[in-house]
Amino acid sequence: MEEKSKVIKVKKNNDGDITDVMLENGNVYSIDEAIMMAKDNLIQGVNVGTARNGRHYLRSNPNDKDNDNLDNMPSF
């Protein structure tokens, strides 16, 4: 089984929405792919939330640090 990888960078659109993520192994995935991978517990440190409109989104696991929140990650 593959080791879980963490998100280290994100790509955002002009609205500030995350469109892609880069994992520490260098692989890049669309946000939809990353959501499916998170549902399958393949990405470390994230989980899938559901917005009021029913749309799924990727979010960091809760902790006391702000620097690992997806919105605060470096972009690529």
Pairing, β 46-50 against β 18-23 = unpaired
Q: Which pLDDT does position 65 carry in this prediction? A: 80
Q: Which pLDDT does position 1 carry in this prediction? A: 47
Segments in 1-76 forming alpha helices (H): 31-39
Structural domain including 32 reads 5-72
Give how far the C-alpha of residue 71 lies from the chain's centroid of Cα atoms, to the nearest Å: 9
Q: How confident is the model at residue 2 (pLDDT cuts 50, 70, 90)?
A: low
Q: How confident is the model at residue 68 (pLDDT cuts 50, 70, 90)?
A: confident
Let me know the angle formed at the C-alpha of 53 by 50 and 56, rounded to the nearest 5 degrees. Answer: 30
Mean pLDDT of 9-30: 97
| Total structural domains within the chain | 1
Mean pLDDT of 15-41: 97
Q: Which pLDDT does position 23 carry in this prediction? A: 97
Mean pLDDT of 23-47: 97
